[in-house]
Amino acid sequence: MSKFSTIIWPKVVLFGDSITQFSFQPNGWGAETANKLARKCDVVNRGLSGYNSRWAKIVLPRLISSQNAAENNIAAVTVFFGANDASLEDKNPQQHVPLTEYSENLKEISRFLTSAGVPADKVIFITPPPIHEPAWEKECVLKGCPLNRHNSVAGQYAQACVQAAGQCGSDVLDLWTLMQKDGQDFTAYLSDGLHLSEKGNQFVAQHLWSLLESRVAHLPFILPYWGDVDTSSPESSLLCYS
C-alpha cells in the first residue's frame, strides 16, 4: 500500500454546562452546528452538566492540551457558562460562584485557550439565557428545594460575560438580551424555565452560526467528492489528498 499521511480534522469545541451537553440531542444547537460542518471539521461536545466556571477552568487543561498546541488544530471554541454560577448563594451554594470570580474565571479560561493555540478571535463566549422563574420554581419544588435562580441575577452574569469577552478580545452571543429583545415572550425558548426548548435550540443555532461561520468558512471539504474519484486508480485520488 502507498504511503499516506493521516488527515488531522479541524475541531470546533463546545465547552459548557448542561445546555451544551444536551445540545447534541435531536434538533439541538450542537447537532445543528455539527451537521453544517460535516466533512469540514469535527464538532466536539465538552458539555458538563451542573458545572460552573470555577470547575470549568480546573478541568479545561484535561480536555485541551497546551503542550502540543499546534496539534490541537482547533478552528473555534464556544465557552458557555453562567447558568449555574448565577444560582442564588443562599439557596444553591454548591453551584454558586460570585459575580467577580465568574468574570475572572472566564478570563482565565481565555488565557489558557490562548496558551493552547486558540487565540481570542477563535473563542465565542455565550451568556446564560434568561430564567423563567415560575416554570423553574416548579422544577425546584419537584426536587424539594426553593426557587434557586432569578432572572435579574442571570442578567448580571450575562452582562459580566459580555464585559469579559470584550476585555479578552472575543465575540459574545448575549442570549439573555437577545431572547428578551423588544419585550418578546422568551418563555418559548425554555423547556423548564432554565434549559432550552426546541425553539430555544434553533435560536442558539441560528445566532451562533452568524458568529461561527466566518471562523470556519476557510475550511475545505475533506476528501474528494465521490464523483471526482478516479475509478481506474482510486488511490491516486484518495491517498494523495492532503
Give Cβ neighbours of residue 242 (< 8 Å, ≥ 6 apart). 5
Residue 118 has what pLDDT?
A: 96
Q: Cell triple for residue 26?
A: 435531536
Which of 17, 110, 170, 195 is labelled catalytic?
A: 195
Q: Does the pLDDT value for residue 153 go beyond 80? A: yes
Q: DSSP labels for 26-88?
A: TT-HHHHHHHHTTTT-EEEEEE-TT--HHHHHHHHHHHS-STTHHHH-EEEEEEE--TTTTS-
CA distances to 27, 42, 78, 235, 240 from 4, in Å: 37, 21, 33, 10, 7
132 is catalytic: no
At the fourth CATH level, which superfamily is domain 11-239?
SGNH hydrolase (3.40.50.1110)
pLDDT in tens, 64-79: 988 877 778 999 999 9
Residue ranges of the domains in the chain?
11-239
Write down the pTM of the prediction.
0.95
* Residue 18 is among the residues annotated as catalytic for this protein: yes
The chain-wide mean pLDDT, for the chain, equals 95
- In this predicted model, what pLDDT tens digit does every residue of 9-60 receive, in sequence order? 999 999 999 999 999 999 999 999 999 999 999 999 999 999 999 999 999 9
Q: Is 17 a catalytic residue?
A: no
Residue of 65, 121, 192, 230 marked active site: 192
- At 1 the pLDDT is 43
> Catalytic residue among 17, 18, 132, 174, which?
18
| Phi, psi values for residue 193, rounded to 5° | 95, -15
For the segment 141-170, the average pLDDT, to the nearest whole number, is 97
